[in-house]
């Protein structure tokens, strides 16, 4: 487990999670329900596109990035919506659904992440033009896509010890370095002709020349980049070297803050990077910290196990454990986590290893105490602490951190490829205004 899902949920309030609205009723009232694009056998209306464009323009304004032309924003927004609609259709075919209870819990989680009361969160959303119904449906759509990602991508990502060894041997001067980066990406399909490849390369070279003579990187990225972070001006945030492709690291090792990379060719296309800043992180084991050896039983909420039923089962198992039944046996029979085969044993956990809800419950338990059901983004847990200690992190910590970083990087790359394949498989027919 890690904090990635919780962090991802927190982005919603910043406006980065796509917003879906029920356009049919609104469109009939406003006369804007004409079809903009058909995705397989479903329509996206012009009203939906205009609403999403408003959100995109608002986000750019909040970041102080000058908006590209309306036609560019419309094209970018429609591409995002096509992929999302295709994803929703796939989820429907797989009988996936997000019930209202799960949406309510996600809203509460976002409010806590932003240190707000639920009502205040909804008031702020309304002030940005997002009524409760559209806010909920936007979140439901994002949760569906996350569940699709878990099933179709994340579960298939594997990181071996040999992968970790390769990273350790290749880091060199970049070991213990984090980079703050921005990028522009021009995609090149695998089936592209040599002429298409050269056009993409020439386009990226032209962008680099514009930037070298004073063009604004964020504005150029917002208008032209085909990466997911384009609407954030290409900002990739802080990345450890092991979370970056090796060909990126080789380029940015040569740069000083503020400098541009050369044009980089990858399997995805052509990249242009700007190094905004860098910092060193300690490689030492660090000061002693509280650690727990724990085990758990996880009831994963899904379309086949609604949250209310998961909670009921967790309460039943907790009662049986408190009555003296064997934890390991019940974990093997009931837990939906990979640790089930080991009787739920998670080994030694350090601060930050688990999501906040799990860690808070962990820190409050006495030795051998069975927790009440604990909710987290992963589902509902029953937790027991087997041992406690205060010690420096073990030397294997670095390998574990690299392995996790590699897993996240591979998952991001695989998800990006999967989204492109999802888009390529969809039947798309544009109507009305040009895209």
Please write the tens of the pLDDT for every residue from 128-143. Answer: 667 788 788 888 888 8
The predicted pLDDT at position 255 comes to: 93
- Rounded (10°) CA dihedral 49, 54, 59, 60: 100
pLDDT tops 50 at residue 184: yes
Pick the residue with more confidence: 192 or 370?
370
- Which pLDDT value is given to residue 368? 94
Mean pLDDT for the stretch of residues 11-40: 53
Q: Which pLDDT value is given to residue 329?
A: 95
Instruction: Name residues whose C-beta falls within 8 Å of residue 71's C-beta, 6 or more positions apart in sequence.
Output: 434
Residues 313 and 333: beta-carbon distance below 8 Å: no
Q: Bigger pLDDT: 190 or 233?
A: 233
Question: What distance in Å separates the CA atoms of residue 312 and residue 262, rounded to the nearest whole number?
Answer: 57
> Which strands form 289-299's sheet, in the order they lie side by side?
345-349, 289-299, 379-391, 374-376
What residues have CB less than 8 Å from 430, skipping those under 6 apart?
A: 36, 37, 78
Query: How confident is the model at residue 394, as a pLDDT?
Result: 67
Q: What are phi and psi of 6, to 5 degrees?
A: -65, -40
- Model pLDDT, residue 400: 76
pLDDT class of 298 with cuts at 50, 70, 90? very high
Across all residues in the chain, what is the average pLDDT? 84
The more confident residue out of 414 and 435 is: 414
Q: Percent of the chain having pLDDT more than 90?
A: 39
pLDDT value, residue 61: 84
Residue 86 predicted with pLDDT over 90: yes
Q: What is the pLDDT of residue 320?
A: 96
Give the pLDDT score at 292: 93
Q: Evaluate if residue 1 carries a pLDDT over 60.
A: no
Amino acid 287: pLDDT: 64
Which pLDDT score, from 0 to 100, does residue 261 have?
A: 95
pLDDT of residue 426: 92
pLDDT tops 50 at residue 10 = no
Alpha helices in 302-365 (DSSP H): 307-322, 327-334, 356-364
Q: Is the pLDDT of residue 408 over 70?
A: yes
pLDDT (mean) for 37-46 = 92
Of the two residues 302 and 337, the one the predictor is more confident about is: 337
Q: How confident is the model at residue 319 (pLDDT cuts 50, 70, 90)?
A: very high
Confidence of residue 302 (pLDDT cuts 50, 70, 90): confident
The CA distances from residue 319 to 312, 322, 324, 369, in Å, are 11, 5, 9, 12
pLDDT score of 58 more than 90: no
Label residue 350 by pLDDT band (50, 70, 90): confident
* % of the chain surpassing 70 pLDDT: 87
pLDDT tens-digit readout, 320-334: 999 999 999 999 999
Q: Are 375 and 356 in contact (CB under 8 A)?
A: no
pLDDT at 19 > cutoff 60? no
pTM of the model: 0.61
**Position of tokens 């041997």?**
169
Residue 266 has pLDDT above 80, yes or no: yes
pLDDT of residue 47: 87
Strongest mean pLDDT among 31-40, 164-173, 265-274, 286-295: 265-274
Measured CA to CA in angstroms, residue 70 lies from 82, 218, 324 at distances of: 18, 17, 66
- At residue 307, the pLDDT reads 85
pLDDT beyond 50 at 30: no
More confident residue, 102 or 386: 386
Q: What is the pLDDT of residue 432?
A: 65
- Please check the confidence at residue 179 and state whether its pLDDT lies above 80: yes
The pLDDT of residue 29: 45
- Return the pLDDT at 106: 86
How does residue 8 score in pLDDT terms, banded at 50, 70 and 90?
Answer: very low
């Amino acid at each position: 487990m890690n904090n990635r899902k919780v962090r991802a949920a927190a982005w919603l309030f910043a406006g980065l999670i796509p917003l879906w609205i029920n356009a049919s009723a609104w469109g009939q009232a406003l006369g804007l329900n004409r079809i903009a694009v058909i995705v397989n056998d479903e329509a996206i209306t012009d009203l939906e596109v205009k609403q999403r464009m408003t959100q995109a323009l608002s986000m750019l304004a909040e970041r102080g990035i000058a908006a590209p032309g309306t036609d560019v924003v419309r094209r970018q927004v429609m591409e995002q919506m096509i992929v999302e609609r295709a994803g929703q259709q796939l989820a429907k075919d797989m009988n996936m659904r997000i019930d209202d209870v799960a949406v309510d819990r996600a809203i509460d989680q976002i409010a806590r992440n932003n240190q707000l009361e639920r009502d205040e969160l909804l008031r702020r959303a309304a002030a940005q033009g997002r009524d409760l119904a559209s806010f909920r449906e936007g979140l439901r759509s994002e949760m569906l896509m996350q569940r699709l990602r878990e099933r179709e991508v994340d579960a298939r990502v594997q990181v071996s010890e040999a992968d970790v060894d390769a990273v350790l041997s290749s880091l060199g001067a970049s070991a213990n370095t984090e980079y703050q980066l921005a990028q522009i990406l021009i995609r090149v399909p695998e089936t592209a002709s040599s002429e298409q490849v050269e056009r993409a390369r020439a386009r990226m070279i032209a962008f680099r020349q514009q930037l070298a003579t004073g063009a604004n990187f964020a504005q150029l990225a917002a208008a032209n980049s085909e990466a997911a972070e384009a609407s954030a001006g290409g900002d990739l945030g802080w990345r450890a070297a092991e979370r970056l492709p090796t060909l990126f690291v080789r380029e940015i090792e040569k740069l000083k803050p503020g400098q541009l990379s050369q044009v980089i060719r990858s399997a995805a296309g052509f990249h242009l990077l700007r190094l905004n800043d860098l910092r060193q992180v300690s490689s030492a084991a660090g000061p002693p910290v509280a650690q727990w050896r724990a085990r758990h039983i996880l009831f994963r909420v899904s379309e086949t196990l609604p949250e209310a039923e998961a909670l009921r089962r967790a309460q039943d198992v907790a009662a049986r454990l408190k009555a003296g039944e064997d934890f390991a046996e019940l974990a093997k029979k009931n837990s939906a986590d990979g640790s089930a085969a080991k009787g739920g044993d998670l080994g030694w956990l350090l601060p930050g290893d688990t999501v906040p809800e799990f860690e808070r419950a962990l820190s409050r338990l006495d030795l051998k105490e069975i927790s009440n059901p604990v909710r987290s983004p992963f589902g509902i847990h029953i937790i027991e602490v087997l041992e406690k200690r205060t010690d420096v992190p073990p030397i294997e910590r670095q390998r574990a951190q690299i392995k996790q970083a590699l897993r996240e990087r591979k998952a991001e790359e695989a998800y990006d490829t999967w989204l492109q394949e999802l888009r390529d498989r969809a039947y798309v027919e544009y109507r009305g205004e040009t895209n």
